[in-house]
Amino acid sequence: MSAREEPMLSGVPRIPPAVIDRPRLRTRLDGPAPLIVIRGPGGSGKTTLAAQWATRPAPEAHETVVWVTPDGGSQSRAGFWMRVLSQLHVMGLVEHGAFEREMVALADDAGIAVEVLRRTLGARATAVTLVLDNVGSSQPDTFWNAVCGDMVDAVRSLVTVRFIAVGRFPTPLEAPVARASVEVEVIDGEALALTPDETRAIVDHHGAFLDDAGRRAVCALPSAIWPMALRYTLEMLRRSPERARDLGRPGATLPLLDVARQDVLGGVRDPEILDFLGATALSPVVDVDFATRLTGRADAQELLDTLEQSGAGHWSHSEDGTASFRYSEYVRAVAAAEFATRHPERLKRLHARIARWLHDERGEKLAALEHAVQAKDLEYASHVLLRIYPMSDEDRAHVGALLDEIPAHHIHRHPLLALRYALILNAREGTQPRAIEYLISSSTVGRLRASSVPEGERAIRTGIESAVWRLLGHDKRMATRADETVTAMEHALRAEDRDESLEWASLQALHHCGISLMYAGEHARARDAMSLLDEVSRRRQRAAFVNAAHCGLAMIAVLRGEFATATDHLDQIDVAAWPAPWATGYMSSLGYIAQAWVHVNAGRPADALAVLDVLAPHEATIEHWDLMLGARVLAEAMAGRVHEAQFVLESTRSARVSRRTMASTKARLAILEGLVNVAVGTPRANAKAVAGTAAAPLGHSLDAIVAVRNGASADAHAQLAEAESTAASPLDEAFVAVAGAIVATRGSSGLTLERYRARLRVLVSDHHLQWPLAAAPPSVRATIQSEHTTDEDGQWEAALAAVPTIVADVESGSVVIPRLTPREREILRAMTLIENRNDLAAHLFVSINTVKTQLRSLYTKLGVTTRDEAIEKALKHGLLDRPDHPEA
């Protein structure tokens, strides 16, 4: 039977010649144990036994068998389970949408493998047996330990799933811990060894060309207990019958299992055939056509069949009937090493051809990348790397290790490779400074070579580059690259001749560009990016990216104060379409933050805080921390905990702001600080801190409020006029209207309250924008509410009733006496006696950094900037002697 005959069960090796049925072992595979281990040395027949069982003539109708052989991209926990999921998809056990969703989930978090199996197989009425070939490693503490733990957990929670693990090395599946929690059947090397009767049956059936003496001599060989050794011996004798006379001599053993060099390789006399074996063994798998192209041998089919008969490897068939030959692990390693020693000059060319075949025809991208790097074909390595998606953290680390071995000056010549390496370095502890070097080279060389790079690849590079500049805090470069990318993507993603292999990378890059433009305050362009992402993702049925687009669009609407629009986008998110890690991770985070802001806007602080708590596990690392912080601070203030809101703001800013923080983020924090300062009674000017940013109108509005509270009416008018002239969004207009209402109610000439009240009502009606009303003190709210107005639908009254004020009434020009906590008063008292901060920290039993944070918060609350000013104000207003105020 040749490799071109009818296909078998997908992935199952073809049963080699010179084997027999072994009921004593096969029946053990039919037993009740949910975990079965077949472990034995190379050539012991373990894979053949599993294949015989999987293809038995009358498999149980209520059972589905899925065969999984790890490929070149499976050398990690996530990669292995992604391979399993791919095979389940090929077998029709997982529908396409769920397959894509769960692949992304596994790439993000390999630890959810059992959950993925539960979601994909848990509802099946029929049993599924996963035969996992080549499990385990000779090295301790590899990813296989985690995989074995996953298998144990899976069979404990899924009664319809069981595993048959085939391999050469002991694994934790055989350890007492595993066997104490589940039933494990172990078929080891001793059990796999042929019995005398089995040996005789094979020799009698396949050694008919031998006389009785010859057959007895073969059966007596020490190596005859191993199926592969026996098969090789019989094949050798069939080709060279004259060697049979040597079998009876003392010491004749024909050892095969110690192994491939002496018997498989040593048995090949023709150097051209030896070269064929070595060249094809460089690849993890070959088919006849590729073996012919790789070696120039027209007889590749015959040679591979001969190698199978001699035990060097086996044929298997894919679902579409394509036959592939895979060498045994040990034979491949020895043959490839021998070839590399004899023909080092041919390696680069062969690795380059293997890389292209693995990528273009097999879709094995990580394996293709390894061969491209070995071939020093970095242009093609860039091509492959751009198309690897999804990629797990383990695989990303593996890619990083590959790139670590490449000289820096070679990486600098390839923009995409340099960009990917910059991302890897930026994520590593201690290598972030080196990331900028590669990012700059990627940008510079990429622009020089732009005309020679396809539009789609060029757009992805600039899109990823935008994300990196964002992480590094370069606002202008971030926005420029993002805008360039969106322009290119608008054509590339709609083109008829687009490169489909770039789809995932394109969608990711477009999503990052939308976020970059949002942070840059380019809201219209950010909407263009997210809307294009929505359009393309719907057309390609990428539901998770449709969700991501609506999360982004909702957040853009929130930043503009368009809450009706934000709610519409949030309603379009299909929660069931998220891959599990995305559901509460980075890709969905903007949706959660936007939802929290919707609750804040509606005056529901408890609901806002509950939504933000979903993201709490990621709060210390998430990129959008400032957007989360704004919602959290306002929610705390609306709940009546204004001083706690101030502490959260100060402590978070102290921990997160660095030289890499974007100017737009710092501007948002300045506005938030200004609002909190007004709320706690220590208003300070804000416009200077946000000058030249999208937050400038909000800064001028807050400064108008500060000015009128300080009795500076002329300054209030000037700041208000500046705010009105620069307002660019409903949120800007709302703050102008609130500030105008406050200034107008203080009796300022030239301003009419009705004008600002009317504008607020329109904003509430058209955009459901309510939360800026929280900045209006009670007296102002009472005034704008008491005027005779028509409110047919009650929306205006409902808004005023829903949103609590966070600002107390203060007469124009009056002195504000801040409320201090007991701890703050203790610090003030200590400051009157101790000048040095280190001594102050020791006195208070805290670190110097804690003292700095506490002093910053205290100075903000008092509206001062130095120790002397703080003590002066405390003495002037009796803050050292007054009774402690309870927290707000």
pLDDT of residue 575: 94
pLDDT of residue 263: 47
Nearest to 226 by CA among 193, 259, 187, 189: 193
Overall average pLDDT of the 352-356 stretch:
96
Overall average pLDDT of the 851-861 stretch:
84
> Which DSSP string do the residues of 146-174 spell out, in sequence order?
HHHHHHHHHHHH-TTEEEEEEESS--GGG
What's the rounded Cα separation, in Å, for the pair 691 and 769? 25
What's the rounded Cα separation, in Å, for the pair 419 and 435? 9
Identify the band that residue 273 occupies on the pLDDT scale cut at 50, 70 and 90. Answer: confident
Overall average pLDDT of the 776-801 stretch:
77
Helix (H, G, I), strand (E, B) or coil at 597: helix
pLDDT of residue 331: 79
Identify the band that residue 346 occupies on the pLDDT scale cut at 50, 70 and 90. Answer: very high
pLDDT of residue 267: 52
pLDDT of residue 591: 97
Asked if residues 48 and 19 have their Cβ atoms less than 8 Å apart, the reply is yes
pLDDT of residue 45: 87
pLDDT of residue 791: 57
Instruction: Report strand pairing: 161-167 vs 35-39.
Output: parallel
778-786 and 753-767 helices, crossing angle to 10°: 90
Identify the band that residue 259 occupies on the pLDDT scale cut at 50, 70 and 90. Answer: very low
**For 823, how many CA atoms within 13 A lie in the half-sphere containing its CB?**
12
Question: Which alpha helices (DSSP H) does 768-821 contain, by range?
Answer: 778-786, 795-802
The answer on pLDDT for 407 being more than 90 is yes
Give residue 286's Cα distance to chain centre: 32
Overall average pLDDT of the 60-72 stretch:
77
Identify the band that residue 247 occupies on the pLDDT scale cut at 50, 70 and 90. Answer: low
Cα-Cα-Cα-Cα dihedral of 129, 130, 132, 133, to 10°? 60
pLDDT of residue 5: 37
Report for 224-228, 322-326, 570-574, 854-858: range of highest mean pLDDT: 570-574
pLDDT of residue 29: 92
Q: What percent of the chain clears pLDDT 70, i.e. is strictly above it? A: 89
pLDDT tens-digit readout, 705-758: 888 887 788 888 999 999 999 999 999 999 999 999 998 887 656 778 888 999
Overall average pLDDT of the 551-575 stretch:
97
What's the rounded Cα separation, in Å, for the pair 408 and 443? 16
Q: How far is CA 648 from CA 402, 602, 634, 644, 651, in A?
A: 43, 22, 11, 6, 5
pLDDT of residue 436: 82
Residue 328: Cβ-neighbour burial (10 angstroms; 0-12, 13-18, 19+): buried
pLDDT of residue 59: 52
> How would you write 657-684 as a 3-class SS string?
CCCCCCHHHHHHHHHHHHHHHHHHCCCC
Overall average pLDDT of the 141-159 stretch:
92
The answer on pLDDT for 838 being more than 70 is yes
Asked if residues 709 and 683 have their Cβ atoms less than 8 Å apart, the reply is yes
Nearest to 796 by CA among 766, 773, 764, 755: 764
Identify the band that residue 605 occupies on the pLDDT scale cut at 50, 70 and 90. Answer: very high
Identify the band that residue 14 occupies on the pLDDT scale cut at 50, 70 and 90. Answer: confident
pLDDT of residue 518: 96
pLDDT of residue 599: 97
The answer on pLDDT for 472 being more than 70 is yes
Overall average pLDDT of the 591-608 stretch:
97
Identify the band that residue 293 occupies on the pLDDT scale cut at 50, 70 and 90. Answer: very high
The answer on pLDDT for 155 being more than 90 is yes
Instruction: Report strand pairing: 35-39 vs 63-68.
Output: unpaired
Nearest to 105 by CA among 122, 123, 117, 88: 117
pLDDT of residue 428: 80
pLDDT of residue 7: 35
pLDDT of residue 244: 63
- What is the chain's mean pLDDT, rounded? 85
Whether omega for the bond prior to residue 690 falls within 30 degrees of 0, making it cis, is no
Report for 122-126, 484-488, 582-586: range of highest mean pLDDT: 484-488
What's the rounded Cα separation, in Å, for the pair 41 and 58? 29
Residue 554: Cβ-neighbour burial (10 angstroms; 0-12, 13-18, 19+): buried
Residue reference for tokens 């492959």: 384
Neighbours of 603 (CB within 10 A): 21
The answer on pLDDT for 3 being more than 70 is no
> Which DSSP string do the residues of 331-394 spell out, in sequence order?
HHHHHHHHHHHH-GGGHHHHHHHHHHHIIIII--HHHHHHHHHHTT-HHHHHHHHTT--S--HH
**How long a stretch of residues is the chain?**
888
Q: What percent of the chain clears pLDDT 90, i.e. is strictly above it? A: 42
What's the rounded Cα separation, in Å, for the pair 365 and 358? 7
pLDDT of residue 440: 84
pLDDT of residue 787: 57
Asked if residues 863 and 674 have their Cβ atoms less than 8 Å apart, the reply is no
Bridge partners, 313 (sequence order): 327
The answer on pLDDT for 151 being more than 70 is yes
pLDDT of residue 242: 65
Give residue 502's Cα distance to chain centre: 17
Neighbours of 413 (CB within 10 A): 13
Q: Which amino acid is at 555?
A: M
The answer on pLDDT for 381 being more than 90 is yes
Asked if residues 576 and 536 have their Cβ atoms less than 8 Å apart, the reply is no
The answer on pLDDT for 226 being more than 60 is yes
Identify the band that residue 229 occupies on the pLDDT scale cut at 50, 70 and 90. Answer: confident
| Backbone phi, psi, residue 60, to 5° | -60, 135
Give the residue with greater pLDDT, 514 vs 504: 514
Nearest to 869 by CA among 351, 163, 860: 860
The answer on pLDDT for 296 being more than 50 is yes
The answer on pLDDT for 245 being more than 70 is no
pLDDT of residue 271: 78
Q: How far is CA 786 from CA 477, 736, 791, in A?
A: 50, 21, 12
**785-812: b or e for each residue (b if 16 or more CB lie within 10 Å)?**
eeeeeeeeeeebeebbeebebbbeebeb
pLDDT of residue 781: 86
